[in-house]
Amino acid sequence: MKNPFDNLDKVLEHRVRLQIMSVLVTNDGYEFSSLKDVLDVTDGNLASHIKALEREKYVSVSKSFIDRKPNTKYKITERGRTAFKKHLDAMEAVIKQQK
Amino acid sequence: MKQIQEYEKDIASIRNMMERSSKFISLSGLSGVLSGIYALAGATVAYFTIHYPISPVHFRQYSLQTPEALSKLVLIATLVLAASITTGLWLSHKKAKKHGEKLWNSTSKSLVFNMAVPLVSGGIFILIMLYTGHFGLAAPACLIFYGLALIQASVNTVDEVRYLGFSEIILGLISASVPGYGLIFWTIGFGVLHIIYGGIMYNKYDK
């Protein structure tokens, strides 16, 4: 049997990234500031992890202005959804194997 | 390579995030009980305005004979609604503060938006009914549209709200089939049901 560890997504190994993906998979679009509140992380921390997910094209970003204030909204991509699901399946397999 | 416990923690945090980012949990159960009490008080005043001295279970084909009675009823309903919304906002604000959350976050925003669609369309529909003299179905329409609004809202909050919504719709449909008893069904729907479900929510989440 193939080693289930091979199916784990290196990009999603970090918990903050996993949490970002969980929020975006349940909600149709989420703002940067709301994401920061719900995850309870700093601006810089969230920005760097979001960047990593953007680079993999797991999330898409749309910028606009609301009342002349910049507003950044993130959405999960199909690629991101598939990767998230695959990573969850891999985690499940790892846990099952160890028990 | 991460430890197995780390993966279990990952999964727990995923579940927590999905729940927290999509559900508004600061909704106060106590405010549900209080709005039920306001509705009972309003219904008592309404009974003395339109039915008295006839017993409330006595069948009445035309309960509204005068425009004064109608405007009094609309005023009572508006007062009950305003008092309920104010209490709901105040108690939910207190509860959100206790949990270290904001009352006005992306979840409560979508909660309000989801509720507003059936509520506003229902409200306008009922006003049109009253204006055109179709008084008999106004109370059932209140219950049915309110039930639909609750089912919409339940996507973003605790499950009890969905069951309350179904109960309101069933009650509204029964009420529509027995004209003349509107006030009694209105009292059960907005008074008794709010107290029951508010009490369940208070026991489960507020303590």
pLDDT in tens, B118-164: 999 999 999 999 888 888 888 999 999 999 999 999 988 988 999 99
Under an 8 Å CB criterion, which residues of B touch A?
Answer: 1-2, 4, 7-11, 13-15, 17-18, 20-22, 101-102, 105-106
In chain B, residues with a C-beta closer than 8 Å to the C-beta of A5 are: 1
- pLDDT reported for residue A2: 63
- Interface contact B9-A95, CB threshold 8 A: no
Q: What is the ipTM of this complex?
A: 0.80
The full 3-state SS of B116-184, as one line of letters, equals HHHHHHHHHHHHHHHHCCCHHHHHHHHHHHHHHHHHHHHHHCCCHHHHHHHHHHHHHHHHHHCCCCHHH
What is the enclosing helix (H) or strand (E) of A59?
A: strand A59-66
* pTM of the full structure: 0.80
What residues contact residue A41 under an 8 Å CB cut-off, 6+ apart? A16
Query: What is the Cα–Cα distance from B110 to B24, expressed in whole angstroms?
Result: 10
Q: Pick the residue with more confidence: A69 or B200?
A: B200
CA distances from B81 to A20, B24, B39 (A): 38, 21, 8
Q: Given its phi and psi angles, is residue A77 left (phi above 0), alpha (psi -120 to 50 degrees) or beta?
A: beta
Query: What is the Cα–Cα distance from A15 to B13, expressed in whole angstroms?
Result: 8
Confidence band, pLDDT 50/70/90 cuts, at residue B1: low
- Interface contact A18-B13, CB threshold 8 A: yes
pLDDT in tens, B70-91: 888 889 999 999 999 999 999 9
Residue type, B199: G
Q: Judged by CB atoms within 8 Å, which residues 75-94 of A form the interface with B?
A: 88, 91, 94
Mapping DSSP to helix (H, G, I), strand (E, B) and coil, where does residue A58 land? coil
A76-85, B106-115, B188-197: which has the minimum mean pLDDT?
A: B106-115
- pLDDT reported for residue A70: 85
- Interface contact A27-B22, CB threshold 8 A: yes
* Chain centroid offset of residue B159 CA: 14
